Every structure is written in structure tokens, then in C-alpha cells.
Structure 1
Amino acid sequence: MTITCLLLSSGCSGKAGSSNTAEPQPVPPAASPSSENPLPRQTDAASPPAQSPPPVTAASPVPAGSEGSSPVGVIEQEIASMPLEDKIGQMLLVGIDGTEVSAQTQTMISNDKVGGIILYGDNIKSLKGLVSLTNELKRSNAGNPAPLFVSVDQEGGKVSRMPDEYAKIPASGSVGASSNAEAAEMMGKLLAREVQTAGFNMDFAPVLDINSNPDNPVIGDRSFGNTSAKVIELGIAEMKGIESEGIVPVVKHFPGHGDTSVDSHLELPVVNKTEAQLAKLEWRPFREAVKEQADAVMVAHILYPHLDPDRPASLSKVIISQLLRGQMGFKGVVITDDLTMGAIMKNYSLAAAAVNAVLAGSDILLVAHEYSNEQTTRNALLAAVKQGKISESRINESVYRILSLKQKYQLKDTPVDVPNLTQLNKDIKAWRTSFVK
């Protein structure tokens, strides 16, 4: 019985990756780490850390206003009945090729039972085509353990995936210039309404990075501004706006991508700040998001030598389990940035990165490009569990968080009609003029 059926019986009612990421580079030969980049290169999955991560409490799966119901037992029963292969599938959020469901996409959904799909610009050409694709993805998931996360990077500005039929939403920096929290909340609502009309249920937004480095090639006006106070006020407002429309917001890029001078799509950024320095600036928006019950956090591929000299944040137990979950108290879903980005593929084998990400405390591994990369990631995790490198109880923790989040938002694989965008576009245009000084 699927989790959807079980939840109905219990009384409930009805990704910044680039769309043009280059072919993954082969893993270079092992080399001694330099002072500029101390990350050791690996070709094999690392052994589990000697010290286990601190106990993790799963996110509360009870939606607001439903405190009288308790689906905890339902989710636990579903996990107990799932084969290991299905559990691993729930931990994968994958990209696909083309604008239609291919045989490989069908295999990832029907056979591998991946937990989610992310679409990029190359997958989206028109409104009608986009709706047809999201509907077909959901139909392909029929009979699987849980509904799909159908996700997208829709931030506004230069990171906009929606087709031309939608009115344009400006970058966060434009809203930040107004210092208008109400405008930021409405931005979140409008972004959510956009993606929802096309069949998405998860948006990789808001950006909580602080644009503190003018040489940053990645963030820029994707951030609300260059102070923690502004990013906190407007970023949290946007997060709540997205959430209020029934779309899962994913805050990013923890622990902070604002002070990098290297594009992690291409190389591994290194930030040589101490814990005290990071706590005064980069971490503040994320701490506030955790306090405000953020559902999901994307972790960046950035090396912080003063915190963990050996692994970037996305693969670091120190940063995910000890800092994000331990010190900050985050109980939601942790998602890696795309594991096929150059920051990872040029320094690790994908198999090693996948295993290390789970050992570090990640729940969902984003594998945005290539069917072969999804297969490599899936097989590496299955082998690691069977070989005892990852315990099945560790897998169960992540699957519990994932299914809890899907239940909280009452996700279903329900198709949508091609929307009439007249009112939405009118609202976007009116909003755009409302916060201009």
C-alpha cells in the first residue's frame, strides 16, 4: 500500500543548478592537497566517521491546523514495508533529458522509484509543453511508494525557468533595494503561484546568501542584499510567502555562498573564515530560517577549512550533523546541491560523494544531469548499505523526514490543466510597480 493511500485512510485531505552544466569531468589522479585547496581527492567511498552523528529528531509531519491527527505510525509502517531499493529511491532527486518522458526517465521513476524530479531550462519550452511534462511525470509515478517532488529553481531574475507565457519576476536584489518585507512575501506568493500552475510542488528558493563579496560570480542580485539584517527580513518573508501557497520552499545555499569568488558549478570554492566570523554574518539568515521552521535546506559545495579541512559542506558531518542539525537544531530535510557540479566531480568520484553526503547527514541527493549519474549514485548507496558502510537505520531517518515533508504538504500526483495566466500575470505586473521607489 502506498503512503498516499495510508495517509488518506488516516484522515488527511486531499533545484541553483545550471541547465547547461557541462559533461561531468573524469576524476583526476590523486594529488596532494595544496594550501589553497586542501580537499583530498578520492576515488572510493569513505568509511563511516568514527563518531556517530548526534541523534536526529524527525521533522513534525503534522500540518498546521491538524494537531489532532498523528500520522507518525503510518509513516513508520510504510518505511518498515519498503524494500531498501525503494528507500534509496526516495533519497534521489534527479534531472532528466528533453521535454518529454523518455525511456530512461520512465526507468528512474518506475524502477528506481526516485523521490523527485527537477526541471531546468532545457526541459521547458512552452507552457503547454511544461504542463504536459509535469503531468506525464506524475502519471509515471502511479503505484509508487510516495508522490514525487516535482521541483524547479524559480527565483526570479536570471534564475527563472518558467516559459515566456509568464510575466517576469525580477531578481531578489531588486526587491532588496526597496527594503520592503511585504513585497518580499508577495514575491514568494507569486513565485509559488507560478510554479503551482505548471504542476510543480517544490521551489528551490529563497536564496539566503548574503552578497558580501563583489567578485562573487554566482550570487550577485540573487541575494536580497549585503547585510544579514536585510537578508533575514526579506528572505524569511519570501520563504513564508512560498509556504503559504502550498509549495515547499528550499532555502539555500547553507552555510553561505555569498563570500565566494569561484563558481561551484565549475570548481570548488574555498572560504577561509573562522566559525566566529561565519556566525556573525553568513549563518545568521539560516539560523533564523531554522527558528521559523524551515522545511528544507540546500547545502552548498564549499570548503570551509577552519570547520572541516577535508570535505566541502555538502559532504561534511561537521557542518551538516554537528552544526546545522546539532547547534542550530534543524529537524527538516537536508538536500545537497547538484552532485554533478564541477566542485564535486573534479575532486571526488560521484560514488564516494554520494556515500559521504549520506554519512554527513544529507537526506536527499540532487543528481541533476545524466541517467548514468543517477545509476552510479543509486548503486553506490545500495552497495554501501549492504557492505555496512551506511546503516539501514540511517537510511530510515532520511526517508522518514522525506515522507513527513510530503505528507505535511499533502502532495499528490494529481495532473493540472493548462492554466489561464491572465490574472496571475496581472498580479505580477501590479506587484512589480508596488515596491519601486
Structure 2
Amino acid sequence: MKLYLRIFILLVITIFIVGCNHKKLDIEKPNIEENNDFKEENKEPADSIEDKIRAMSLEEKIGQLMIIGFDGTDVNEEIRNFIEELKVGGFILFSRNIVDENQTLRLLNKTKEENSNNDIPLFLSIDEEGGRVSRLSKSFVKLPEAMKIGDINDKDISYNFGKILGKRVGSLGFNINFAPVLDINSNSQNPVIGDRAFGTTIDQVVNNGLEVLLGMRDMGIIPAVKHFPGHGDTDTDSHIKLPKVNKTMDELKLFELVPFIEAISKDVDIVMVAHILYPNIDKNYPATMSPKLIQSVLREDLGYDGVVISDDMTMGAIVENYTLEEAVLSFLKSGGDIALICHGKDNPEKVFERIKEAVKIGDLKEKDIDDKVYRILKLKGKYDLEDKIINTIDLETLNKDTKELINHINR
């Protein structure tokens, strides 16, 4: 009897121990699963932009490095070829392309439709500064020049000025405005800037230029500040000849560069580089082709990692001194991202083929092109750009807002 009792007790103890072990296992298992969940949550998300770039052909990448001007007021074979064959990243419109607001709306809508087979939306850009640099039709109430805004020096007025600029270009379907001008007009003989600047002092340009930038951006329009590193102290029009400014880097940092530094602190998305030679900084190349000014100064010293665009590469300052193709290649190799090519229907293809050749012979690394395209696609994604059709424009309300601002200015 005692033997049976001992056996019974041993069986009870064994069952108890095994049961405890099972409990222990049941407790530990969820902990393991939680740890796995934690690891999954903390994995870095896949970079969709990099995935998109990996799926792109070299030709598609090169196309993103160009914004193109064209002739005509309607979609034509020229535009179709730029979209279908060159896969261009965007277009710029001038007065030659604009008749009235309804025609402009149709033109931009048709251009978007032509791009519908491409996964990447277009940059649609314009120079709409107010004053004498206004490409929109005369049906829009004329805005005052930047200098008048700077003379008033009221941040609320400047911000609303920027909002109106953004509203009017956005209402037609544009998504980039090449404004505001951040040049300080310090040279009374300046033939190209003048009243396009907000003033002759750092404070006027910074206080008002940055508010205009913010106003446009709050309307969903990408501002492109210009003309880095400063076009205000020139006495030559870069549309015709290459200006030369004999300033040192220390002088630029204390004056011309200040508005651009402030814009970078506000996360400006695009900086336009000027065709100006600064022989004390780079005696061989103008800013648009200078690794010292773009890569060393703008990118490294000032810490700018956004999109860098050239001024129009078909301006006299460039084509009177260099071949267009080599100038664009130099711009890209110097740290630039998008070449603005505003004139000449054969020029975009020439530039396209030269970039392609440079990659083939190892003169330009495809990895460098990938970095540029990454910045471009990131910007298009940041503003949720899409080739969306806009059916109507409320010009009456736009003009009403403009008149109210002008009345406020003239009080």
C-alpha cells in the first residue's frame, strides 16, 4: 500500500512539473512575437523614390534634368516630341505662348494630357514677378514691381503679394514660379535688375522677399529664388553678355549671399544660379558652370540640399562664350540639377544627346544623375504634383483680390 502511495505521489509531482514547464513556454512565446513585431516596426521604410529611379531608363533620367521653352500657343509636334522622345521634366511659358487666360488654361491642360503616359508629372513654370516681368495676359490686373513692395516694407503686404502671385499662376495650372528676386540692387547702373529687386539694402530684400516666398508656397506654388549668388551689382545684362563682378567671397558673404542664406533657412525648394563671372572666386567659369560656387559655396558652405536650376542656358552670357551642350554639362558636373533651355527647338535634343554621351564615356557618372533625379522627384512628391486638368478659372475673384491689395498699398 505504501508502494502504491509513493508511486501516486511521484506521478502527481511529475504532472505538476510538466504543467509548470508548459506554462513557462506559453509565457515566453508571446514575448518572442512582441520582439519580432518591434523589429518590424523599427525597420526603415523602403525608399520609393530610389525604387522609382532604379526602374527608370537613362533617357528618362536625363529628361528630368531639363525644363524647356517652346514656340506656339497650342500643343504641337515640338511639345509632343519633347514629352515622348526626351521625357522632359517640365516646360516654361513666356509671353509668346500666352494669348489670354482661357487659351493658357487649355494649353497647360493639353500639355498635361500629352504627358499622361509618363509616370512622372511635369514641372510647369513661368516668370511672374509683378511689375515689368509678368508673362500672364493683360486680363490679369497688373501687380506693382518688387521695389514698390520693398519701399512699403510691410511683411503682411509682402506675404499677401506672394499669395496673389501664387494664386494667379496656380489657377492656370503652373506649379513653379521663378520668383522672388533676391538680388540686392546695389549698382545704380544695373540694366537688368533695378526695380525687380525689393530694395538696395539687405533688410529690404530679406524682410520682403522671404514673405513673398512664403506667400507663394502657402498657395501650393514652388518658389524659385534668383539669381544666386547675386545679380544686383552688375552693369551688364546677362541676356546679352557675360557680366563680371570683382568681389571676394568674404564680400559676397557679407552682402549678396545674405538673402539666399535666409531663404535656405526657410527651406527654399529651388535656387536659380546666375550667369555671372566672379574672377576672384573662379576666374574660369561663370557661376552657372562653377563647381566652386555651386558645389563648394551653395551646397557645402551654405548647406543647401534642394534643387539647383540654371538661368536660361540660351542667354548671350553663355552661348556667346561657350557651346550650349558643354555649358549644360559643366553646370551638371558643378552640382546643378535642372538646365533651363528656353529657346531653340533643336537645343533640347542636342543637350540630351551630349549628356547621354558623357555618361557613356564616363565623363558624367550615372550615380550623379540619380542624385539629381532624386532631388527632383522628391520635390515633385513634396508638392503632390500631378498632371491634373483644371476646368475653369475664376479671374474675377483673382482680380478683385489684386485690386484690394493695390488699394491697401496706395493708402
Fold-level match, TM-score > 0.5?
Answer: yes
* Distance apart, 1:296 and its partner CA: 0.4
User: Relative to structure 1, is the Cα distance of residues 71 and 219 closer, same or farther in structure 2, using a 3 angstrom cutoff?
Assistant: farther
Corresponding position of 2:103: 129
User: Relative to structure 1, is the Cα distance of residues 216 and 71 closer, same or farther in structure 2, using a 3 angstrom cutoff?
Assistant: farther
> Could you say what secondary structure the match of 1:177 adopts?
helix
Larger Rg: 2
* Distance apart, 1:75 and its partner CA: 0.5
2:335 corresponds to which of 346, 356, 361: 361
- Alignment of 1:411 onto 2:375: no
Alignment of 1:11-410 (within 5 A): 73-410=47-384
Corresponding position of 2:409: 435
* Distance apart, 1:71 and its partner CA: 7.9
Q: Give the conservation status (yes or no) of the 8 Å contact 2:151–2:204.
A: no
Corresponding position of 1:53: none
1: CA distance, partners of 2:391 / 2:129: 23
The residue identity in structure 1 corresponding to 2:48 is V
User: Relative to structure 1, is the Cα distance of residues 72 and 155 closer, same or farther in structure 2, using a 3 angstrom cutoff?
Assistant: farther
> Could you say what secondary structure the match of 1:155 adopts?
strand
Q: Give the conservation status (yes or no) of the 8 Å contact 1:86–1:145.
A: no
The residue identity in structure 2 corresponding to 1:408 is K
1: CA distance, partners of 2:335 / 2:201: 29
* Distance apart, 1:420 and its partner CA: 2.1
For normalisation by structure 2, the TM-score amounts to 0.88
For normalisation by structure 1, the TM-score amounts to 0.83
2: CA distance, partners of 1:113 / 1:325: 27
* Distance apart, 1:154 and its partner CA: 0.4
Q: Deviations over 1:327-359 (max 9, x none)?
A: 000010000000000000011011110110100
My pick for the range that moved more, 303-312 or 412-421, is 412-421
The residue identity in structure 2 corresponding to 1:214 is S
> Could you say what secondary structure the match of 1:249 adopts?
strand
2: CA distance, partners of 1:110 / 1:375: 12
Q: Give the conservation status (yes or no) of the 8 Å contact 1:180–1:435.
A: no
| CA RMSD, 1 decimal | 1.2
2: CA distance, partners of 1:77 / 1:289: 31
Corresponding position of 2:38: none
2: CA distance, partners of 1:170 / 1:417: 29
The residue identity in structure 2 corresponding to 1:153 is D
2: CA distance, partners of 1:328 / 1:72: 29
The residue identity in structure 2 corresponding to 1:254 is F
Aligned-residue identity in percent: 45
Q: Give the conservation status (yes or no) of the 8 Å contact 1:354–1:380.
A: no
User: Relative to structure 1, is the Cα distance of residues 362 and 401 closer, same or farther in structure 2, using a 3 angstrom cutoff?
Assistant: same
* Distance apart, 1:110 and its partner CA: 1.5
User: Relative to structure 1, is the Cα distance of residues 361 and 165 closer, same or farther in structure 2, using a 3 angstrom cutoff?
Assistant: same
1: CA distance, partners of 2:358 / 2:131: 40
2: CA distance, partners of 1:249 / 1:94: 18
Q: Deviations over 1:218-247 (max 9, x none)?
A: 001100000011101111111011000000
